[in-house]
Amino acid sequence: MLNYLYKRISHAVEVLLLVSIITFAVLMWIPGDAAQLILGSDATPEKLAALRSALGLDRPWYLQYWDWLKGFVSFDLGKSYLFGQDVSTLIRQRLPVTMSIAVFSMIIATVISIVLGILAAIRKNTAVDYVSTGLMQLGSSVPAFWIGMMSIVYLGLELQWFPIAGYVPPERGFVAYLNSIALPSMVLAIGEIGMLLRTVRTSMLDALSQDFMDMARAKGLSSFTIYFKYALRSAMIAPSNVIGLQFAKLVGGTVVVESVFSLPGIGRLILVAVEQRDVFLLLGLVMFITTLVIAIALLVDIAVMFINPRIRVEMQGE
């Protein structure tokens, strides 16, 4: 177990280093810099040079990267050119918005996928199965931007069931808070239902075809016991892994939804950092999300290890 954790953490450090180098290099190659965007196209060369010097943009790229890397190791993500604040402060301010959307969308996607996936497997080739297949196709093929715009038009403007923009923090009223994140969460959940529903259905069908299910039927056990005590327990190993990875993906994939619904979250901040060439802000955001994804993946692996005894034995053997 300890050997496994050591290997995973070592691999995580390598991934973080590689991601930071690639992100920094890409930003260095993009034409323009933060000084030009801050001062505008009419800025004189003298003003540009002075601002670049103040921001440290006139230094060699490898020195800029090295200084940032030293700060990152000591948990200092640097300072944003655009906002004039520490990147860690900006993340703390906007993380609750992104996490709220990610958590609620994952809950919606998980509940719908598990319920429909089980029913589709039990009632294969029936109306429930066909509806589930349709949702799989919808979630896999329709862009989140289009779903978001249609939701705003029909559910927000026409029916006026939900607000079409903005975020209300929980301290200003829990009902208003839920109302402000409900529509973005549902839009984001649709994109996750496809893979998760397919995984639950496939795993459940595989579990129902195992020999131990025939033994359970031969013993005269009730359908409820067969499906939900034996089949579901075996079938949830693969979906558990997918749920964790999909949640990690959601945190970093909220750019479109937060932009469509004008939400002040991490995803929208990433878009601003790219547009304004805010190198250290984007680096900090990318590294934060990458670290979060790696941590969630590690926790999922550990959880699956305890759920599945066979995997636990294999890891102990390593």
Note the pLDDT tens digit of each residue in 139-153. Answer: 667 776 677 778 788
Q: Determine phi and psi for 222, rounding to 5 degrees.
A: -65, 160
Express each pLDDT in 67-89 by its tens digit. Answer: 878 877 887 777 887 787 888 89
What is d(CA 106, CA 20) in angstroms, rounded to the nearest whole number? 28
What domains are defined for the chain? 94-262 (1.10.3720.10)
Please state the rounded mean pLDDT for residues 26-44: 68
Other Cβ atoms less than 10 A from the Cβ of 201: the count is 25
Helix axis angle for 127-141 and 174-208, nearest 10°, is: 120
b/e code 147-165 from CB counts within 10 Å (16+ = b): bbeebbeebbeeeeebbbe
Q: What percent of the chain has pLDDT over 90?
A: 0
Q: What share of the chain is helix, strand, coil (3-state, %, to 5)?
A: 80, 0, 20
Mean of per-residue pLDDT scores for the chain: 77
Angle between helical axes of 237-252 and 279-307 (0-180°, round to 10): 170
Contact by Cβ (8 Å): 260, 191: no
In this predicted model, which residue has the larger pLDDT, 269 or 156? Answer: 269
Q: State whether residue 31 is helix, strand or coil.
A: coil
Q: What is the pLDDT of residues 162-194, one digit of tens each?
A: 887 778 888 888 888 888 888 888 888 887 787
| 3-state SS, residue 32 | coil
User: How many angstroms separate the CA atoms of 293 and 254, rounded?
Assistant: 14
d(CA 8, CA 54): 40
Residues 131, 75: Cα–Cα separation, whole Å: 48
| DSSP codes, 116-166 | HHHHHHHTTTSHHHHHHHHHHHHHHHS-HHHHHHHHIIIIIIIS--S-SS-
